[in-house]
């Protein structure tokens, strides 16, 4: 089936069919003409060649998404939410698993550009301003999701990680914990740095000492949560009464490490996470955590993408900052 046959069935020119398929803005067409073309497309079950359309300057209706899906269940949920929004809006999506590897990110960017996608949504593990500026200079639409790259002229949508860390730390302080251990996220990305800053700022706000010996490096993985907690235990059990983990996956690693040392949660130690993954509400104990607004984030990402590909001036550097929410469950208790 070809576009020529659609035009013949509708009694219009090939260019008219093309205008209907590409939905060009500000392109006036009589409604009855448009309806005739759409009816012919339906009757003939015509499926347009999106790649051919893109070569002629049209849109493919496909968006690329690059995220470290295998490393963190949060990105599985975020990717699903973005895909769901795209589907509802008539877009297909190509999902690429970067595994948190900057070289894989660059490889997938090149692949998606060759596939003529309409834009790329990236949750980056370390792309720099130069990487993104080079894409923008080539006319490629790029939206950052859940992370930001400082000084890059790229729209970014992410949760207020500093606020979330403040909420978690203050909650533990309100439960009368003063010696709060902290397992960081990767400090190469904005979320990791902002969560650490929120923890430190809240301790200082409450005139509590910052003990660097109970701050351990993490990377958002279960195994790192486990090993970091083992280090905390070797450093002295009396040095801390609670652990704030920078994501839920590390929190579960921390819980397992404590249990392997014969400890109970929350009777012996309080644990709080960050993200509010689906399994955090069905674990034993159910995990107290900070929820990121995943569905809202996905919607805002798509809206930023649509704004960028429209005829309106580009957004340039726009931050869409979304509030987090403390979700209280069973893994924390009042100290006294």
For 172-209, how does the pLDDT look when each residue is reduced to its tens digit (9 = 90+)?
A: 999 999 999 999 999 988 899 999 999 999 999 999 99
Angle between helices 31-44 and 3-10 (to 10 degrees): 130
70-109 tens-digit pLDDT: 778 999 999 999 999 999 999 999 999 998 888 999 999 9
Q: Is the dihedral of CA 72, 76, 79, 81 positive or negative?
A: negative
pLDDT tens figures, 124-173: 867 888 888 888 888 888 999 998 887 788 899 999 999 999 999 999 99
Q: Which domains does the chain have, with CATH numbers?
A: 62-159+295-322 (3.40.50.2300), 161-292 (3.40.50.2300)
Pick the closest to residue 159 from 202, 201, 123, 200 (CA basis).
123
Per-residue pLDDT tens over the stretch 100-129:
888 999 999 999 988 889 999 998 867 888
Q: Write down the pLDDT at residue 24.
A: 54
Strands 325-327, 289-291: parallel, antiparallel or unpaired by DSSP?
antiparallel
pLDDT in tens, 221-263: 999 999 999 999 999 878 999 999 999 999 999 999 999 999 9
Predicted structure pTM score = 0.81
Assess whether pLDDT exceeds 80 at residue 1.
no
């Amino acid at each position: 089936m070809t576009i020529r046959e659609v035009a013949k069935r509708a009694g219009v020119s090939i260019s008219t069919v093309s205008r209907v398929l590409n939905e060009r803005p500000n392109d006036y067409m009589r409604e009855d003409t448009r309806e005739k073309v759409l009816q012919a497309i339906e009757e003939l079950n015509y499926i347009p060649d999106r790649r051919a359309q893109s070569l002629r300057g049209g849109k493919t209706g496909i968006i690329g998404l690059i995220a470290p899906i295998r490393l963190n269940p949060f990105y599985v949920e975020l990717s699903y939410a973005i895909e769901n929004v795209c589907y509802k809006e008539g877009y297909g999506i190509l999902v690429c698993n970067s595994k948190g590897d900057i070289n894989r990110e660059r490889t997938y960017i090149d692949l998606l550009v060759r596939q003529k996608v309409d834009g790329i949504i990236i949750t980056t593990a370390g792309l720099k301003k130069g990487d993104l500026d080079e894409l923008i200079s080539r006319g490629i639409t790029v939206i950052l999701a859940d992370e930001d790259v400082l000084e890059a002229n790229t729209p970014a949508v992410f949760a207020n990680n500093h606020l979330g860390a403040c909420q978690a730390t203050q909650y533990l302080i309100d439960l009368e914990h003063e010696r709060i251990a902290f397992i960081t996220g990767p400090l190469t990305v904005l979320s990791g740095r902002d969560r650490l800053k929120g923890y430190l700022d809240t301790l200082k706000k409450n005139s509590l000492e910052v003990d660097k010996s109970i701050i351990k490096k993490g990377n958002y993985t279960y195994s790192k949560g486990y090993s970091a907690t083992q280090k905390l235990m070797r450093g002295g059990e009396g040095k801390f009464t609670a652990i704030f983990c920078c994501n839920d996956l590390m929190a579960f690693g921390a819980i397992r490490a404590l249990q392997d040392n014969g400890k109970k949660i929350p009777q012996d130690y309080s644990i709080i996470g960050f993200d509010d993954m689906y399994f955090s509400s069905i674990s034993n104990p159910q995990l107290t955590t900070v929820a990121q607004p995943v569905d809202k984030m996905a919607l805002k990402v798509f809206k930023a993408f649509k704004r960028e590909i429209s005829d309106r001036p580009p957004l340039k550097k726009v931050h869409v900052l979304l509030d987090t929410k403390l979700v209280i469950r069973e893994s924390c208790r009042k100290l006294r």
